[in-house]
């Protein structure tokens, strides 16, 4: 069966269903506006392990197990896993998922990873490569600050434009078995580099990629913004959102009524001192699995465009004075009437 | 069209052809046994850029352009790219491929990346998600030593079990248009952790994963080792090879007559002081595109099992005393009679 494909998009002729979603978060996320929606809270930032990295791996393993359990499946029924994280050489996924003993493809999309994992997972299910596929990612404030910024003990000041890395892991089981939530299409992102170099303002670095992917999606599917109940970016934050909305206006699109950003949803900026908003692979992943999917399942939303956004940089590229390119991987998720 | 899938393998009912392959290497690789086969040599390890990282990005961009040119395609005809590298946050790919302005999925599979990219690329082409897909990766001695080991200026001694990171980038264009080389199946790897912690003996860390993927491939496709002209691992090196052959014997398979290792092919250990052999994502990728593909195209080989092997670790995981899990992603490549 040949799928209908646009310039950068795929419309699945075989439906791909989201069978289950699981979300694990840390205490700060639990204290935020979405606190009541998460499946489980890790009170210990090391999740009972000996390092933040081991803690993040443990979070990812527990999110995976919970999603598989919610789908009423055994681990051995998962045909393949698509997973990645923010850490160098994706150690959160490698060490977290080894125990599942399932076939796996490791991904790197920075904070766009959940969009990439859902896209590749949906492509695999729609093509008949597996009955059930697991898509997941994670991030952790402790591991990310250590990886990209300053030692936590250093207590550096954070500019208001900086984001706060979400401690959390979100996992989805995808399958061809009918549920009330389906992935009907994807739009694959391009890497965009506008030359911005401020890794404390990643929203600005990622906004152009989000704009490009949204325009391409509307173009490929011949839709208007109103055709989506919500267009939901991953972690642009409030500054990135302003830039995105303005860039889209210049292209003739007004999405301010439909736009939500997972980074702005997950924290109460004023009360939690989280700068521009939440960030990290886990941000979009846990907001999707805890807050967005139930609204699609209930039919409150009929169709959303979910596009996690990634800032492609490392401490080496930053120290060598390189810019911070962005990418956004979009997934069209719809309510399916039972 | 539902593909025939085994426990961990996919047999493509729609043929996927390798349309072109390109290989760029450094001078040490050019001086090795395969020197005559590479497309292009970078005399400057920074490839005219200002850092090793920029040099690796440039290599990856030039390998991509050369593969696209050899396929007689324009860059805009590439429907999607699957790419990754060894560096933290995959900066070689992100900064190298931004210029191509094509839809892209970033991968992390350590040195198994070429196997992962070919697998996902073949899955995409077989499913009709795109007419032409680009699969590529790279590694660089300077960037990898800096990322994982010691500053080059430090001039540390290298144990004989250590491998020498290949400076090179290999790229393949995949498509549904008939050529003399086709990908007929894949076997997706699992992460295996035997608890080994010596990052200067990565062959030993990866051998169990190679053994597992080979056994699974023979099992899923109901084949014997003799059904392959060659079974070619990525960068196990001479120590990893001994372990692999012994592990397979214990499982009842004797592949010593069929086994080749890209890491052992690319350097002359005695003359080039490269320890156990070559390593790095680029090792399997440039050996495939320069030396292996022509033998399949000519029909000298009818069918090979190509399985790049990856050691999943970072300097953080190493410094935290973690082991080095391995993974191997296998691709079945066959000669197609014109």
**What single string gives the DSSP state of each residue in B26-42?**
EHHHHTSTTGGG-SEEE
ipTM score assigned to the predicted complex: 0.97
Query: Are B3 and A189 a contacting pair at CB < 8 A?
Result: no
- Give the pLDDT score at A153: 87
Q: How far is CA B40 from CA A288, B137, B141, in A?
A: 46, 16, 17
pLDDT digits (tens, 9 = 90+) for A33-72: 999 999 999 999 999 999 999 999 999 999 999 999 999 9
Residue B338 above 80 pLDDT?
Answer: no
Query: Are B107 and A103 a contacting pair at CB < 8 A?
Result: no
φ, ψ for residue B104, nearest 5 deg: -145, 145
In sequence order, which residues have a C-beta less than 8 Å from that of residue B302 and are 6 or more positions away? B229, B334, B335
By the 8 A CB rule, do A84 and A109 touch?
A: yes
Q: What percent of chain A has pLDDT over 90?
A: 93
- Give the pLDDT score at A4: 66
By the 8 A CB rule, do A45 and A55 touch?
A: yes
Q: Which residues of B touch A129 (CB under 8 A)?
A: 3, 5, 10, 123, 127
Query: Are B188 and A2 a contacting pair at CB < 8 A?
Result: no
pLDDT digits (tens, 9 = 90+) for B183-240: 999 999 999 999 999 989 999 999 999 999 999 999 999 999 999 999 999 999 999 9
Distance CA A82, CA A93 (A): 10
pLDDT, average across residues A10-31? 96
How is B283-317 classified by DSSP, letter by letter? HHHHHIIIIIHHHHHHTS-SEEEEE-EEE---HHH
By the 8 A CB rule, do A230 and A258 touch?
A: yes
pLDDT, average across residues B50-71? 97
Provide the mean pLDDT of chain B: 96
Q: Is B128 helix (H, G, I), strand (E, B) or coil?
A: coil
Q: Which residues of A touch B88 (CB under 8 A)?
A: 88-89, 147, 314-316
- Give the pLDDT score at B164: 96
Q: How far is CA B295 from CA A255, B39, B230, in A?
A: 54, 16, 11
- Give the pLDDT score at B156: 86
Residue A3 above 80 pLDDT?
Answer: no
Across chain A, how many H-helices and E-strands are there?
12, 16
* Bridge partners, B171 (sequence order): B22, B136
By the 8 A CB rule, do A109 and A327 touch?
A: yes
Angle (CA) B83-B84-B88 rounded to 5° is 155
pLDDT digits (tens, 9 = 90+) for A198-252: 989 999 999 999 999 999 999 999 999 999 999 999 999 999 999 999 999 999 9
By the 8 A CB rule, do A335 and A302 touch?
A: yes
Distance CA A95, CA B143 (A): 24
Task: Provide the chain B residues 101-160 that lie in CB contact (below 8 A) with chain A.
Answer: 101-110, 116, 119-120, 123-124, 126-130, 146-147
Residue A91 above 80 pLDDT?
Answer: yes
Provide the mean pLDDT of chain A: 96
Q: Is B126 helix (H, G, I), strand (E, B) or coil?
A: helix
Distance CA A333, CA B270 (A): 57
CA B19 to chain A, closest CA, distance in angstroms equals: 20
Scan for tokens 């993040």, then name that residue: A56
């Amino acid at each position: 069966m040949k799928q209908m494909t646009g310039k950068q998009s795929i419309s699945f002729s075989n439906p791909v269903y989201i069978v289950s979603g699981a979300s694990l978060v840390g205490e700060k996320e639990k204290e935020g506006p979405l606190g009541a929606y998460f499946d489980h809270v890790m009170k210990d930032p090391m999740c009972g392990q000996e390092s933040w990295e081991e803690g993040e791996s443990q979070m990812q393993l527990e999110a995976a197990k919970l999603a598989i359990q919610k789908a009423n499946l055994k681990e051995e029924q998962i045909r393949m896993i698509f997973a990645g994280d923010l850490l160098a050489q994706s150690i959160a996924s490698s060490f977290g998922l080894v125990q599942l003993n399932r076939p796996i493809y490791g991904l790197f999309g920075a904070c766009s990873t959940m969009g990439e994992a859902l896209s590749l997972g949906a492509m695999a299910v729609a093509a008949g490569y597996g009955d059930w596929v697991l898509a997941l990612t994670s991030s952790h404030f402790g591991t990310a600050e250590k990886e990209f910024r300053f030692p936590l003990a250093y207590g550096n000041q954070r500019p208001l434009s900086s984001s706060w890395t979400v401690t959390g892991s979100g996992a989805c089981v995808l399958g061809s078995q009918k549920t009330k939530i389906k992935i009907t299409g994807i739009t694959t992102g391009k890497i965009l580099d506008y030359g911005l170099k401020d890794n404390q303002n990643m929203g600005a670095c990622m906004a152009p990629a989000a704009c490009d992917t949204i325009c391409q999606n509307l173009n490929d599917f011949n839709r208007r913004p109103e055709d989506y109940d919500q267009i939901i970016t991953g972690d642009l934050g409030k500054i990135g959102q302003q830039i995105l909305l303005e860039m889209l206006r210049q292209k003739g699109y007004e999405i301010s009524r439909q736009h939500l950003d997972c980074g702005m949803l997950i924290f109460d900026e004023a009360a939690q001192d989280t700068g521009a908003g939440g960030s990290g692979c886990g941000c979009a992943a846990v907001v999707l699995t805890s807050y967005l999917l139930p609204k699609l399942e209930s039919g409150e939303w009929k169709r959303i465009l979910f596009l996690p956004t990634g800032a492609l940089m490392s401490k080496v590229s930053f120290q060598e004075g390189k810019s911070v390119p962005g990418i956004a991987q979009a997934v069209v998720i719809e309510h399916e009437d039972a």
